């Protein structure tokens, strides 16, 4: 499994946790919004790995946007849910490249 796929799973599951109504918001606010910064860095790492592997980048880009605007109530929840679904779908459908 490629590093970009592993990071998609990590960030996708992290976003899924943050998309849990009230619980995700309480966690973010309880961390002083630090967790949004951590997720931003993880999405940036995932994007770099996806570029290196020539694989899908949209999930990581949406994740970066989500981390930047997730402090807005309800919009943040919606964006976390969209990011989680997109990243998990990309993780499931990623295939290792065949070398000839």
Q: What is the pLDDT of residue 57?
A: 94
Task: Identify the band that residue 1 occupies on the pLDDT scale cut at 50, 70 and 90.
Answer: confident
User: Tens digits of per-residue pLDDT, 18-75?
Assistant: 999 999 999 999 999 999 999 999 999 999 999 999 999 999 999 999 999 998 989 9
Q: What is the pLDDT of residue 96?
A: 65
Question: Strand, coil or helix: what is 52?
Answer: helix
**Rounded to the nearest 5°, which phi and psi values hold at 37?**
-65, -40
Q: Residue 56: how many CA atoms within 13 Å on its side-chain side?
A: 19
């Amino acid at each position: 499994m490629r590093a970009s796929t592993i990071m998609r799973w990590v960030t996708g599951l992290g976003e899924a946790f943050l998309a849990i109504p009230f619980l995700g918001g309480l966690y973010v606010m309880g961390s002083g919004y630090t967790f949004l910064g951590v997720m931003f860095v993880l999405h940036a790492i995932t994007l770099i790995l996806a570029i290196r592997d020539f694989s899908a980048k949209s999930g990581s880009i949406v994740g970066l946007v989500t981390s930047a605007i997730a402090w807005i109530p309800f919009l943040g929840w919606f964006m976390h849910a969209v990011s989680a679904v997109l990243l998990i779908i990309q993780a499931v459908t990623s295939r290792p490249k065949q070398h000839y």
